[in-house]
């Protein structure tokens, strides 16, 4: 696929990612991590991370100004940890480059979900507004209470990764390749 073709695909996926975060959806059931994997795989690492963080910042800003509950900026350390974890997911996407198939994409998605769960909930445990005791019991409680959100995150990440990578690799990319060879 030519660079212009991938640019339009990424722009479309970027817009869909932002919009889905703004419409009602299950907790943590969004395409952000799938988008991070995708752009990390098909674009340079820097561009992939920038686009992932751009989708988060834009949707957080819009969500904040639209008054959408749980959207926007909260504790700075926790917000930065969320963004950092999604940047790591784009790096995981880099590892998919040249290895995209039905086994590697779900595995990469699950690794991203686990990293997201571990890092962001550790940050929540440290967040003074969350009122967890700074003990092993408090940390354990934080992770246990977050488990239902992690399940939604995992299901959403797997669903959207299958949708993004599947749509691109089986529908969009072959179409562009056919157009290029017919020139």
Nearest one of 46, 122, 120 to 79, comparing CA atoms: 120
The residue to which tokens 């098909």 are assigned: 42
Domains for the chain: give ranges and CATH numbers: 3-181 (1.10.1760)
Cβ(16)–Cβ(31) below 8 Å? yes
Give me the mean pLDDT over the 147-174 stretch: 91
* Least confident piece of the model among 18-27, 72-81, 143-152: 72-81
Contact indicator for 112, 164 with CB cutoff of 8 Å: no
Write the pLDDT tens digit of every residue in 13-71: 999 999 999 998 888 899 999 999 999 999 999 999 999 999 999 999 999 999 888 78
CA atoms within 13 A on the CB side of 75: 15
- What is the distance between the alpha carbons of residues 85 and 18, in angstroms, rounded to a whole number? 17
């Amino acid at each position: 696929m030519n660079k212009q073709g991938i640019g339009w695909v990424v722009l479309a996926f970027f817009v869909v990612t932002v919009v889905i975060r703004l419409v009602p959806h299950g907790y943590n059931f969004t395409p952000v991590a799938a988008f991070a994997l995708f752009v990390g795989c098909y674009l340079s690492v820097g561009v992939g991370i920038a686009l992932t963080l751009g989708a988060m910042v834009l949707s957080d800003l819009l969500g904040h100004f639209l008054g959408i509950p749980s959207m926007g900026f909260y504790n700075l350390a926790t917000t930065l940890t969320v963004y950092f974890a999604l940047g790591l997911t784009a790096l995981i996407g880099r590892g998919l480059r040249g290895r995209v198939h039905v086994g590697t994409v779900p595995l990469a998605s699950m690794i991203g979900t686990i990293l997201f769960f571990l890092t962001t909930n550790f940050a929540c445990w440290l967040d003074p507004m969350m009122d967890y005791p700074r003990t092993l019991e408090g940390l354990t409680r934080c992770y246990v209470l977050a488990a239902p959100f992690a399940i939604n995150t995992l299901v959403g990440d797997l669903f959207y990764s299958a949708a993004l990578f599947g749509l691109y690799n089986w529908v969009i990319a072959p179409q562009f390749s056919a157009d290029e060879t017919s020139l």
